Amino acid sequence: MTTKQHSPSPETRWKRAVVVGGGYAGLVTARVLADHFAEVLVLERDPVRSDTGVHPHIPQGHHAHALLARGGEALEGLFPGLRAELAELGAPVFDYGERINFLLPTGYAPATRVGIPVQTFTRDELERRLRQRVAALPAVRVLPATRCETVTASAPGRLDRVRYRTEGGDEATDVTADLVVDTSGRTTSVDRWLTEAGLPVSPKTVVKAKITYTSALYERPPQDPQDYDVAYQMAFAPDVPRGGVVLAVEHHRWMCSLLGADEHVPPTDDEGYLDFAHTLDNPRLAEQIKRGTRQGPVHRYTNPGNEWRLHHKNARWPERLIAVGDALCLFNPVYGQGLTVAALEAELLGRLLRRQRARAAGLDGLSRAYQRAAARVIQVPWTMATSSDLMWAPGGQPLPARFAHWYNQQVFALAVHEPDVWARFVRVLNMTAPPSLLFRPAVLAKVVRRLLTRRTS
């Protein structure tokens, strides 16, 4: 399956874009840029091939991933037929309400159709498929084993000149780009680039939440009839510090990730791993670990929390430079937002580039317009994630976070008995509806009724 490229005529294209980083965010960004630039250089620091799976420098890459429904829509728009391609490998497509055994802090969610289709697979297979498609695009040139040394200015107010060096090469190469996109993840060097150019570093906001993941892949038994494709136990501050998930993924396997907050660290040995799973209230995770045959090593990763580089608040942010993915905003992976947000940022970039073309405008002004619009994309998932993560800290949480946490508890209590409330929560969780859906009069009335009933009982 090839990726259709909706390219303008060659004479109307900009000349060159450079993508710093060839992981997931870099691949989806390169796909968008290929529609608008004659040449898209992807600087990939690892010696990857087209059949390489998860990016070697992604520490969370071997753990369970969730592509929310909105992210799935965005990827299918950028890579038509991707869902079917993954399904042919055995990655299931199913309704979120029907095939997920979801243990909320208040009990099991109702097993009822909600009209939100999702698909589960490993990040390894997803990146492999994306990399093959992107590498096949005529405009894209992936440079493996190539490190970006710096980004400097070809003119005042810009950061558009990229110096890179390929492993084993004698000399560095300098190119000037019409657009530079930083997709280098949490290891981004953007602060150094700005400082060396005499520009201020963008402010950051950080919300800590130490969550440790331990994950393994299991081959499913030949006869493994199950009435679910996902079994999940949500961790929820402060009383549910342990959780985990098993996902049905391609090639008839289960991907299992156990997680714990702070000192609740899932072990990496098989016996300890199973013992940790047995401490969870959802018994299906331990059942699948016990029944399956482990494939490959057990991986552990500790995420310290969330970090957002507020480039949109940098009054001297340069022209011709933007950031996508973890290089812009790093989310706690427990909420499954990172892949979706990066896809939405790439989608946004495509819309802005099309707008510039329609206006016959150049690229000046694009970088600031993008950073402001990307902040709006990030704001809702950031607020949802950090409101929960703030509750792991002892005392002193801001009032909005305390209220959001309390209201989530009321929604969860209703959701286990009210399929309509559960369906609303699923839509918000999958970013197909705004959080305001949970504050509509129908839901508020149920929350108030429940509180009054508890008070009089």
> Tens of pLDDT along 252-296?
999 999 999 999 999 999 999 999 999 999 999 999 999 999 999
> Tens of pLDDT along 363-403?
999 999 999 999 999 999 999 999 988 988 777 788 999 99
- Residue 60 pLDDT grade (very low, low, confident, very high; cuts 50, 70, 90): confident
pLDDT (0 to 100) of residue 10? 46
- The answer to whether 55 and 61 have CB atoms below 8 angstroms apart is yes
Amino acid sitting at position 292: G
How many angstroms separate the CA atoms of 274 and 444, rounded?
41
- Residue 6 pLDDT grade (very low, low, confident, very high; cuts 50, 70, 90): low
Nearest to 79 by CA among 23, 26, 31: 31
The answer, yes or no, to whether residue 8 has pLDDT greater than 50, is no
Give mean pLDDT, residues 156-183.
95
- The answer to whether 225 and 34 have CB atoms below 8 angstroms apart is no
CATH class of 10-66+126-203+310-387: alpha beta
Nearest to 411 by CA among 389, 391, 388: 388
> Tens of pLDDT along 437-453?
999 999 999 999 999 88
Q: Tokens standing for 40? A: 């898209």
Enumerate the domain spans of the chain.
Answer: 10-66+126-203+310-387, 209-305, 397-456
> Tens of pLDDT along 100-152?
999 999 999 999 999 999 999 999 999 999 999 999 999 999 999 999 999 99
pLDDT (0 to 100) of residue 360? 80
Distances (CA, A) of 439 to 224, 442, 444: 41, 8, 6
pLDDT (0 to 100) of residue 225? 73
- Residue 2 pLDDT grade (very low, low, confident, very high; cuts 50, 70, 90): low
- Residue 12 pLDDT grade (very low, low, confident, very high; cuts 50, 70, 90): low
Nearest to 325 by CA among 80, 121, 127: 127
DSSP 228: -
- E strands, 250-376, are 253-261, 293-309, 321-323, 329-330
Amino acid sitting at position 443: V
> Tens of pLDDT along 75-91?
999 999 999 999 999 99
